[in-house]
């Protein structure tokens, strides 16, 4: 293991990350909310620590293998989330324990959006800005992870998106390629954020709210500046803007890249994952609408459609924004929406869940198994559109699916062990693992009432979900640590 | 589709099945409980109907393909369960609706053991005998299905147990082979039942109870003659006998066959599935014991061990016998046991669930995926013991796993739609699909309070579980019905 190189890279990342604590300090200065000192202290501490790790190893640039790639990916999220918790721990308002600070930071950076802070409406602006910005940064990290890094590492069948053959990855080739891809993706990411901010502002939000909510929308994070979340604005325009930008953010950013680079805008319509995603969205919104009408939950058809559209999209795309208490919706709707978050958005997006492409592959292969039973002698290959999928990819997707289920069951049983009731534990595990945010039962609002042990389990689940299970799971294999 | 031949076979099966209504009539005569007429009427009607179907087609003996095999398997369970519901519908005591009669019959014949009858202690002996006997007959059917038929049809990776290459199956070859295998298996099944009856009788049960409970033990069915189930006897000896015979019945009957035929008793110790099964059993009993001790649920360590052993084995092996209200056990134990029923017993046994061999294969392949990520260039095959598993089998197992999950989610959402609360719907679906029996919440005891729509959904789940999903699923494929 090339520890020197790993420490160099992490030191550099931590140093860069420290700079992101300055904008909240500036916000604090502008609004005079008294939270500025915590951010400045956290900035200085983070910067110095980062540099202290980087400096002794600044010359170490060894070639990296897949192993080092996994370690860097896991450390990227854990180390940054740990430093990211510093401002929360240092702040006078809100007063937060170490566990709560870490929970809020992990939840932000993984774009889960589960919160332990109650009374958001009265929080310092700097804190609200910092949370939204953490989600946004997490989203940037995920885009690069999902589009550029996981395909190279071959996690959960994502080699599907890779041109290269499997094998060791040379740092000398990998770093520039990742950096180049990242630059293009972030440009799109930033443009979308600006466009979303502008749209929110036009719809009546003030500039601060518009920027914060654009951050958490494009990151599919789900944080809001208000306890009532997006429901605070009580505006159909805001809801529709949110839905549209969630849809855009839940698509594979590679598609956006090919559209922007002028190569092909028709890719959206040809992409099987994109088509499946919108089919699922349409079905979910329709079901929610019909059931809400049947139970006469809202006064008019317009309000019903507004709420059905917003909640179905927000939960199934794993944003976790709320305009209404969907956990109190009638019949099977709360459970249906929680289940839908297991599918989530498209690969290469900021959404969580298993990802549409994987569910689509499982569906196609399930169909093939039925065909095989009917015609045992025929030879069937798994095809996605016109593309035959190598069996290695299909196997990796199945492995991902099973590992997801096992992690889910273990975390859920653990949570019940900490004293949560069954349905709260079930939905909290789903909400954390799918990087969704809100659950049902006693975690329909905040996670403040969950025990410390429960919060640690949920942080683990968030990390498993965000790192597509296997990036984290490989670290538990003894073979990983053998030289 | 060779409908003539299919009708001939079914007509014959129904005629044979009618004879099984005579023993309960005899029981009724012995005990003078007044239920005899219903069984005689049902016998005559079933016999005549069966013969009426068989007679016009008695000469039709066309070769059968896989398709006809699936149709016969599905019709075997649905048609026999429908005729099997006649006595319930005809009886004065208990008074049962058509839906309830069908539910009880499907639940019996699939060895699920969910009941809608309340007040078992005061039921006519004939009814109690008939229910237990239906489970026992269902168990006989399952043994043949799992050991002789599913491997030929290649359902859910069970071609693993088949020597032949995939391809069309000639009736001329298939029927004698299945008949021969069945004869040997039933001999073992019968011997185990006699041994179990004798053991129960020695432990203090009267002869009637001993036979009925042996029926439902060897079939891993879970029916008892008392509302308090096995808890009625309040006997550690009975509990231990039940546990031992459940273990025997949850093993692959092919292993018993090779032991009985004197070929090799060491197969038990060499079989990876058998070893995994007992490892899981040991872990579950230990966890239950420790948690029960921690929460001081029972007065002494002996009682705690007795209850932990009995409930852990009964639920995880999908028997569903109860000595205590395990749904009221503390912390995560109820959910853990419900989850454990998803694993169930070994393939080729009377147990339900995914089956240990499949879970083991998924585990081994999950491990391979991790190894592949660490050493992308190495070539790994999936091995069970010393045997390499063909990728086609592994794919079929994955398909089975995914289909299981989809059926689970659809039925559970449907049940919530009929008005059940989330945890009742979750556990009822698991209890039906895994052919377990009792659930949590309002189905911890009987299913009497579930709506008719809910009962139909649960019958569907039982059938899906018992027919290993795909045997039923293929019938929904348009390709199946094309000539
Ligand atoms: K989220
Ligand atoms: K059972």
Contacts of A228 (CB under 8 A, 6+ apart): none
pLDDT in tens, B216-245: 999 999 999 999 999 999 999 999 999 999
Residue A315 lies in a domain: no
Cβ contact, residue pair B416, A332, below 8 Å: yes
Residue A170 confidence (pLDDT) above 60 = no
Is residue B112 a known part of a binding site? yes
Q: How far, in Å, are B240, B267, B289, B394 from residue B279 at the CA level?
A: 18, 16, 15, 22
- Spatial CA neighbour of A431 closest among A459, A403, A470: A459
Residue B76 lies in a domain: yes
Per-residue confidence band for A159, with pLDDT thresholds at 50, 70 and 90: low
Beta carbon pairs, A and B, within 8 Å: 151
Residue B402 token pair: 């995914």
Per-residue confidence band for B18, with pLDDT thresholds at 50, 70 and 90: very high
pLDDT in tens, B82-120: 999 999 999 888 889 999 999 999 999 999 999 999 888
Considering every ligand atom shown, identify the ligand nearest to the alpha carbon of residue A138 and give its number: 1
B220 Cα–ligand 2 center, Å: 5
Q: How far, in Å, are A140, A213, A282, A425 from residue A199 at the CA level?
A: 21, 11, 24, 37
Residue B150 lies in a domain: yes
B93 Cα–ligand 2 center, Å: 24
Contacts of B361 (CB under 8 A, 6+ apart): B157, B382, B384, B389, B393, B394, B397
pLDDT at B170: 46
Binding site membership of A for K(+): which residues?
111-112, 220-221, 318-319, 435-436
B/e letters for B322-351, b = 16+ CB within 10 Å, e = fewer, are bbbebbebebbbbbbbbbbbbbbbbbbbbb
pLDDT in tens, A248-304: 999 988 888 888 877 677 878 888 899 999 999 999 999 999 999 999 899 999 999
Helix or strand or coil: residue B453?
helix
- SS3 breakdown of chain B: % helix, strand, coil, rounded to 5? 70, 0, 30
ipTM, two decimals, is 0.88
Residues of B within 8 A of A479 (CB-CB) are: 370-371, 374-375
A320 Cα–ligand 2 center, Å: 39
Residues of B within 8 A of A396 (CB-CB) are: 369, 372
Residue A169 confidence (pLDDT) above 50 = no
Residue A469 lies in a domain: yes
Q: How far is A285 from chain B (nearest CA, A)?
A: 16
Residue B61 lies in a domain: yes
Residue B438 confidence (pLDDT) above 90 = no
Helix or strand or coil: residue A102?
helix
Q: How far apart are CA A37 and CA A313, in angstroms?
A: 38
Q: How far is A99 from chain B (nearest CA, A)?
A: 23
pLDDT in tens, A365-410: 888 888 888 887 777 777 777 778 877 788 888 888 888 999 999 9
Contact A318, A220 (CB under 8 A): yes
Per-residue confidence band for A175, with pLDDT thresholds at 50, 70 and 90: low
User: Closest residue of A to B157, CA-based?
Assistant: A369
Residue B8 lies in a domain: yes
Q: How far, in Å, are A213, A250, A336, A385 from residue A311 at the CA level?
A: 16, 15, 12, 30
Contact A464, A435 (CB under 8 A): no
For residue B327, what is the DSSP state? G
| Lowest model confidence (mean pLDDT) among A196-200, B101-105, B305-309, B321-325 | B321-325
Residue B291 token pair: 């948690």
User: Closest residue of A to B477, CA-based?
Assistant: A370
pLDDT at A483: 66
Contacts of A32 (CB under 8 A, 6+ apart): none
Residues of B within 8 A of A71 (CB-CB) are: none
State the first-to-last Cα distance of chain B, in angstroms, to the nearest integer.
Answer: 7
Residues of A within 8 A of B479 (CB-CB) are: 370-371, 374-375
Residue A331 lies in a domain: no
- Domain hosting residue A409, numbered range: 380-481
Name the percent of chain A lying above pLDDT 70: 95
Beta bridge partners of B384: B387
Average of pLDDT values for B174-184?
Answer: 72
Per-residue confidence band for B336, with pLDDT thresholds at 50, 70 and 90: very high
Residue A418 lies in a domain: yes
Nearest to B373 among A154, A406, A419 (CB): A154
Q: How far apart are CA A298 and CA A268, in angstroms?
A: 35
Residue of B402, B420, B467 best to disrupt the A interface, most CBs of A under 10 A: B402
Residue A480 confidence (pLDDT) above 50 = yes
What total of structural domains would you count in chain B? 1
Residues of B within 8 A of A366 (CB-CB) are: 399, 402-403, 406
Residue B378 token pair: 């190495």
- Spatial CA neighbour of B87 closest among B16, B7, B23: B23
Considering every ligand atom shown, identify the ligand nearest to the alpha carbon of residue A322 and give its number: 1
- Spatial CA neighbour of B351 closest among B106, B115, B105, B110: B110
Strands A383-384 and A387-388: antiparallel
């Amino acid at each position: 293991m090339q520890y020197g190189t790993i420490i160099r890279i992490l030191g550099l990342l931590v140093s860069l990350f420290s700079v992101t604590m300055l904008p909240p300090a500036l916000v604090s200065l502008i609004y005079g909310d008294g939270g500025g000192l915590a951010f400045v202290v956290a900035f200085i501490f983070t910067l110095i620590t980062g540099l202290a790790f980087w400096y002794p190893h600044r010359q170490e640039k060894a070639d990296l293998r897949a192993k080092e790639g996994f370690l860097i990916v896991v450390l990227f999220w854990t180390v940054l989330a740990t430093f990211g918790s510093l401002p929360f721990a240092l702040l006078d308002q809100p007063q937060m324990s170490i566990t709560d600070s870490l929970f809020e930071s992990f939840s932000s950076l993984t774009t889960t959006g589960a919160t332990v802070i109650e009374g958001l409406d009265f929080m310092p602006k700097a804190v609200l800005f910092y949370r939204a910005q953490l989600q946004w940064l997490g989203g940037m990290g995920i885009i690069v992870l999902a589009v550029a890094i996981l395909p190279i590492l071959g996690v959960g069948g994502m080699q599907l998106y890779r041109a290269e053959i499997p094998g060791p990855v040379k740092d000398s080739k990998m770093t520039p390629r990742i950096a180049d891809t990242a630059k293009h993706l972030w440009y799109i990411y930033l443009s979308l954020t600006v466009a979303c901010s502008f749209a929110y502002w036009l719809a009546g939000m003030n500039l601060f709210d518009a920027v914060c909510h654009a951050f958490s929308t494009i990151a599919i994070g789900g944080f809001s500046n208000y306890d009532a979340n997006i429901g605070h604005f009580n505006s159909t325009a805001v809801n529709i803007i949110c839905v549209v930008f969630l849809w855009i953010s839940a698509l594979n950013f590679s598609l956006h890249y090919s559209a922007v680079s002028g190569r092909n805008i028709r890719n959206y319509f040809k992409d099987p994952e994109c088509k499946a995603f919108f089919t699922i969205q349409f079905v979910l919104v329709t079901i929610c609408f019909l059931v809400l009408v049947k139970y006469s939950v809202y006064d008019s058809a317009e309000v019903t459609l507004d709420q059905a559209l917003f909640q179905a999209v927000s939960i199934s795309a794993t944003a976790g924004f709320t305009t209404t208490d969907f956990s109190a919706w009638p019949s099977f709707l709360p459970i249906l929406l929680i289940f839908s978050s297991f599918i989530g958005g498209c690969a290469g997006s900021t959404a969580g869940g298993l990802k549409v492409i994987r569910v689509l592959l499982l569906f196609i292969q399930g169909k093939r198994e039925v065909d095989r039973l009917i015609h045992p002698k025929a030879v069937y290959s798994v095809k996605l559109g016109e593309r035959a999928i190598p069996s290695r990819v299909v196997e990796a997707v199945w492995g991902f699916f099973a590992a997801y289920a096992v992690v889910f069951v273990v975390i859920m049983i653990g949570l019940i062990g900490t004293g949560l009731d069954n349905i709260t534990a079930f939905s909290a595990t789903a909400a954390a693992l799918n990087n969704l945010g809100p659950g049902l039962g006693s975690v329909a609002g905040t996670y403040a009432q969950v025990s410390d042990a429960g919060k640690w389990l949920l942080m683990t689940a968030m990390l498993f979900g965000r790192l597509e299970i296997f990036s984290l799971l490989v670290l538990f294999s003894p073979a990983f640590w053998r030289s």
